[in-house]
C-alpha cells in the first residue's frame, strides 16, 4: 500500500445512547429540584454537583457525536485521524470490539492503558474494516478482537 487510502468513519455514540444520557441528566435535575424544595440543602448540593457533572459530560459527548468525522487516512508509515498523525511505531495494537456489525475500533498506543477518543471510531461500511486490517497486517500491527477502555 504505497498510496494513502482514505477510509470513512462515523461516531461511536449514536442517538440512542445520547438520549439515555439526557434522561440521566433530567432525573438528576429532578432529584436536585425535589431536595432543594424539600429543604435539605446538603443533599441539594450533592445532587447539584452530580447534575452539573452529568450535564457537562453530556454536552461533551453530544458535541463529539453530532459533529461530522473526518475520514481516516492510511499512509505508508502513519495513520491520520481527526487531523492528528500517529506513526506506525507508536501503535501497540488495533482492537475491535462489538457485535452484529456495530464493531467499534480502538487504536491503542504504546505505553497507554486507554484508547484516546480521536482513535475510537466505527466504519461506515465493511470495506473500511478490510482496508484497516490489511494496512495493519502489512505493518505487523496486531489486529485483535478485544475490549478496550476509552476516555469519554
Confidence of residue 5 (pLDDT cuts 50, 70, 90): confident
Q: Looking at residue 105, what is its pLDDT?
A: 87
Render pLDDT for 108-140 as a digit per residue (tens, 0 to 9): 999 888 888 888 888 888 888 888 888 999 899
Q: Looking at residue 25, what is its pLDDT?
A: 93
Long-range contacts of residues 97-100, Cβ cutoff 8 Å, at least 24 apart: 97/145, 97/146, 97/147, 97/148
Consecutive H or E run containing 9: strand 9-10
Q: What is the mean pLDDT of the chain?
A: 85
Rounded percentage of the chain residues whose pLDDT exceeds 90: 24
Where helices occur in 8-151 by DSSP H, the ranges are 15-38, 41-66, 126-138
Report whether pLDDT(12) > 70: yes
Render pLDDT for 39-80 as a digit per residue (tens, 0 to 9): 888 888 998 999 999 999 999 888 887 888 788 888 888 988
pTM of the entire predicted model: 0.72
Amino acid at each position: 500500500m504505497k498510496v494513502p487510502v482514505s477510509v470513512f468513519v462515523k461516531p461511536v455514540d449514536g442517538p440512542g445512547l445520547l438520549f439515555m444520557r439526557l434522561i440521566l441528566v433530567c432525573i438528576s435535575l429532578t432529584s436536585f429540584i425535589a431536595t432543594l424544595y424539600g429543604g435539605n440543602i446538603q443533599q441539594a448540593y450533592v445532587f447539584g454537583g452530580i447534575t452539573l457533572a452529568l450535564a457537562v459530560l453530556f454536552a461533551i459527548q453530544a458535541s463529539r457525536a453530532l459533529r461530522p468525522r473526518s475520514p481516516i487516512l492510511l499512509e505508508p508509515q502513519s495513520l491520520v485521524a481527526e487531523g492528528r498523525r500517529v506513526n506506525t511505531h507508536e501503535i501497540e495494537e488495533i482492537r475491535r470490539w462489538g457485535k452484529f456489525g456495530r464493531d467499534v475500533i480502538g487504536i491503542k498506543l504504546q505505553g497507554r492503558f486507554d484508547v484516546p477518543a480521536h482513535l475510537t471510531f466505527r466504519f461506515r461500511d465493511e470495506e473500511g474494516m478490510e482496508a484497516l486490517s490489511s494496512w495493519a497486517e502489512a505493518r505487523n500491527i496486531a489486529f485483535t478482537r478485544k475490549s478496550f477502555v476509552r476516555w469519554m
